[in-house]
Amino acid sequence: DVKVTQSSRYLVKRTGEKVFLECVQDMDHENMFWYRQDPGLGLRLIYFSYDVKMKEKGDIPEGYSVSREKKERFSLILESASTNQTSMYLCASSSPGHLYEQYFGPGTRLTVT
């Protein structure tokens, strides 16, 4: 059974703080993704990675960066958090062997005050 875990379920940060969101998957998946979920907007792709140290911008990368030093771990970094980054953040992973089904983590609800 695929497990995707995220470091925090809830996080409250102040404007200007540097924020790290961690995601770990245990199925040796090549692909990993970071989305943000906002009401009425669905899931929007921030960044994805198809291999260690590889990263590609998604649709809304501004204000975010990512790091993938190990295959199982994909980190999302908010360099200087702003209130408009208050959202639910979902990590996912997939593999060609699973026909690209994305397995999601439980989500991190980030509030920036």
Partner 1 sequence: GENVEQHPSTLSVQEGDSAVIKCTYSDSASNYFPWYKQELGKRPQLIIDIRSNVGEKKDQRIAVTLNKTAKHFSLHITETQPEDSAVYFCAASTTGGFKTIFGAGTRLFVKA
Binding site for partner 1 (CB under 8 A): 4, 31, 33, 35, 40-45, 48, 50, 56, 58-59, 90, 94, 96, 99-102, 104-107
Shortest CB 24 distance to partner 1, Å: 14
Instruction: Using alpha carbons, list the distances in angstroms from residue 50 to 18, 67, 112.
Output: 25, 12, 29
Closer CB to partner 1, residue 69 or residue 99? 99
Closer CB to partner 1, residue 33 or residue 112? 33
Shortest CB 50 distance to partner 1, Å: 6
DSSP 67-82: EEEETTEEEEEESS--
Closer CB to partner 1, residue 81 or residue 93? 93
Tokens 């995601």 sit on residue: 23
- Beta-bridged to residue 55, according to DSSP, are none
Shortest CB 18 distance to partner 1, Å: 26
Shortest CB 111 distance to partner 1, Å: 16
Nearest C-alpha neighbor of 67 from the set 89, 42, 48, 88? 48
| Strand, helix or coil for residue 96 | helix
Closer CB to partner 1, residue 12 or residue 41? 41
- Beta-bridged to residue 13, according to DSSP, are 112
